[in-house]
Structure 1
Amino acid sequence: MPPFALRLTVACMPLVLAACGSVQPKAFTAEELNDRVTSDMVAMYKDQEAIAAPIDFHEAAARALKYNLDYKLKLMETALSRNLHDVSTYEMLPRLVAGAGYAHRNNDSGGTSIGIEDRLQSLRPSTSQERDHSMANLSFSWNALDFGVSYFRAQQKADQVLMAEERRRKVIQNVLQDVRNSYWRALGAQKLLTRVDTLLERVNKALVRAKEIEKQGLMPQAQVLGYQRALLDAVNTLTLRRQDLELARAELRALMSVAPGVNFTLAEQAELSLPRIPVNVEALERLALEKRPEIMEEWYRKRVTENDIKAAKVLLWPNISFDAGWQYDSNKYNYNSSWFDTGLRVSWNLLKLTQYPALKRAHQAQNDTDDMRRLALSMAVLTQVRVGVQRYGLSLQELEFAEESLRVDQRLLNYAQAAAKSQFDSELEVIRTEARALLGEYQRYAAYSNAQAAWGRLYNSVGLDILPETVESHDVSTLAVAMKDTMNQWQQTVFQAAAQQQ
């Protein structure tokens, strides 16, 4: 090494050693924290289509699907799995390595020779290598065991792509389920909140008047207190229902990822028809075993674990390696400055064969475990389907009862309004019956939303897709139409057939 380079290296060593011990914990500053929060808030709501009209159910589902952050995460995980699979396929290629270098030493490399028998020096000291010379090479190598292991690893990555796709399908199904749970309650909230607020104002005024009547002694105290108790019950019931309605709208806003401060209204659309109760449950169960993303993911996971064992078994076999390359050395003492070399080598670690019985047992145990896990999950899926059918039937009965109760409450309200006089007790009766009718209307909306939720759980338990395999574009309106068509198609082909007697 030249003296200058040596002195520079020695001078830099203390700086390098000092830097190794100078790294200390450093927390983010308040400014960095504020910048991160601001950028995250912008990223969560960026590139969203403006809400230009009232939102119907399918548009709400499309918005939730397009802008839901969990779904975006699954899309990214799927893309990552595909990229990792692409990377793994290149690992099966042979190695083609190019290299270049420079060598320097401060004295000559050389040597002498002595006789084996007499131990006398036979050559004077000599060298055949320059003190400075450059080298270059281009080598090709292929290893049979590396190829075999890389092949099974690539298969694993391919199966992991399919597993990520199944998880994406599950997220889509769950998003639709959550929207179905919230949308119809939110629509009921939009229809009833103003009426609830108006009635609460009337009830509070009636309560103040009842207290005045009690002070003035215009009515028996027991009767006035009974009226106050009825008014307080009405206030309590209406207040609780009002909270439920407001929460439903807030949940829907979160599902659609609507930015704070952005107002939206829901379309006053006709309620979607609910299918008949499925009778051929066995057909739904079989379809669920074919379609549920969780079962498909477990099935692909079995192939992944099998390939782990296969890759381990590959390492038990003899290894064949082939090498070829071009070499160059600028050393002037070489007779040939460039040359080609090739080589073929076979090797076998015989002691590795002792692992084969253990690998075989592990393979069988792994297969049995994966099969049992899938069977346990399949049993849970079948239970979900049967429970889903029963819950859907009960929700339809609840809806029918709520509709009948609402009809009775409406008739009572009409009667009370027609018979009302100027007396306080008549006014109170009108308020009580109006509150009862409004509560009945809320219960009817709640019963319908529960029926929609039960229908959505049954749809979800079968594992049916929400979107077709390909969509022309990913704008909200196109997604909404695609979702509507897909769900209607499944409803007509699967559930309509399952509603027929076997």
Structure 2
Amino acid sequence: MWLEQPVERLEEYALLRNPDLREGIYNARIAQQETRRTLLKLFPGLSFNYGVKHSNDDYLIHQNWNEAGAQISFNLFGLLSAPAQMRLADAGVSLANQRRMATQMAVLSQLHIARLQYANTARQFQRADAIAGVDTRIASHIANQAEAQKQSALDRISQQSTAVLSQLRRYQALSNAQAAASRLQATLGMEPSITGSSSMPLDQLTSAVGQSLQAWNRGQLPAIEGGQ
């Protein structure tokens, strides 16, 4: 299952699919586009115009003529502030890259912590499940002995209470394991993606969530588009 997956493969998948990292990549691209926009502002403005003219002046040789022109302009304030604007744009790119690197370290840390928590809760559930099974069999055995009048009713009630508590601890351990699995799933970027879920009936939504979690239930990392 998931604990048998190589850690290096999980790290690679998390770096490619984690939504926080994807947001950081988009922010870095936006910062780069801002740098290009700053460069374009430094270029001079160039405009062309063309028009057909007409006059009713009888003293003119030609009452109709065409007129064309070109105009180029510079923004002196933009030129003077160009070094400061470029430094600001470069600082924005550097900040976005540093944030992305910090997010990568945070995602890797979250992945290792989530994996350890999942392994710990999985072991706790296995132990709680085994204990609940033993207590249930003991309770059944004592109940049979009580019917044969070899055990008192008090012993039967006591063991049945112990079996019920063991089942409760089993369900609690199962809940903790499911929560740890969800944290690992979110870190890997494998959250269910369902369109139109707000207007979808409950049975269809349940079926859609189940289908989207098939890869998780199989314990396999799905293929990444554009990746290996």
Instruction: Calculate the TM-score normalised by the size of structure 2.
Output: 0.75
Contact between 1:322 and 1:343, CA under 8 Å: does it hold in 2?
Answer: yes
Deviation of 1:395 after TM superposition, in Å, equals 1.3
The residue type paired with residue 321 of structure 1 is S
2:176 maps to 1:450: yes
Does 1:299 pair with 2:25? yes
Change (3 A) 1:327 1:415: farther
Q: What secondary structure is seen at the aligned counterpart in 2 of 1:408?
A: helix
TM-superposed CA distance for 1:397, in Å, is 0.8
Name the SS for the 2:81 alignment partner: helix
Deviates more, 1:375-384 or 1:426-435: 426-435
| Alignment pair present for 1:389 and 2:115 | yes
Whether the 8 Å contact between 1:402 and 1:447 is mirrored in structure 2 is yes
AA matched with 1:452: Q
What's the % identity of the aligned pairs? 28
Aligned residue in 1 for 2:44 = 318
**Residue 402 of structure 1, CA deviation:** 0.5
- 8 A contact 2:45–2:74 mirrored in 1: yes
8 Å contact kept, 2:42–2:82? yes
Determine which of 408, 415, 435 is the counterpart of 2:134.
408
Code of the aligned partner of 2:211: D
> What is the CA deviation profile of residues 88-117 of structure 1, one whole-angstrom value per residue up to 9, with x for unaligned ones?
xxxxxxxxxxxxxxxxxxxxxxxxxxxxxx
Pairing of 1:325-474 with structure 2 (within 5 A): 335=56, 343-420=69-146, 426-467=152-193
1:31 equivalent in structure 2: none
SS at the partner of 1:345? strand
Task: Report the Cα offset of residue 292 of structure 1.
Answer: 0.9
Aligned mates of 2:143, 2:196 — CA distance in 1: 57
Structure 1 residue 313 displacement after superposition? 2.7
Q: CA RMSD in A?
A: 3.6
Note the residue ranges of structure 1 that are not aligned, 5 or more in a row: 1-274, 329-333, 497-502
Provide Cα deviations, 1:40-92, integer angstroms capped at 9, x if missing partner.
xxxxxxxxxxxxxxxxxxxxxxxxxxxxxxxxxxxxxxxxxxxxxxxxxxxxx
Moved more, 487-496 or 292-301: 487-496
1:183-223, CA deviations, whole angstroms, 9 ceiling, x for partnerless residues?
Answer: xxxxxxxxxxxxxxxxxxxxxxxxxxxxxxxxxxxxxxxxx
Tell me if structure 2 keeps the 8 A contact 1:278–1:389. no
Instruction: Give, in angstroms, the shift of residue 361 of structure 1.
Output: 2.1
- For residues 105-145 of structure 1, give each alpha carbon's deviation from its aligned partner in whole angstroms, at most 9, with x where no partner exists: xxxxxxxxxxxxxxxxxxxxxxxxxxxxxxxxxxxxxxxxx
Describe the SS at the equivalent of 1:391: helix
In structure 2, C-alpha distance between the alignment counterparts of 1:465 and 1:413, rounded to whole Å: 41
Partner of 1:309: 35
What SS does the corresponding residue of 2:214 show, helix, strand or coil? Answer: helix
Residue 287 of structure 1 and its aligned partner are, at CA, apart by 0.7
The Cα of 1:406 is off from its aligned counterpart by 0.8
Higher gyration radius (CA): 1
Offset at 1:481? 4.0
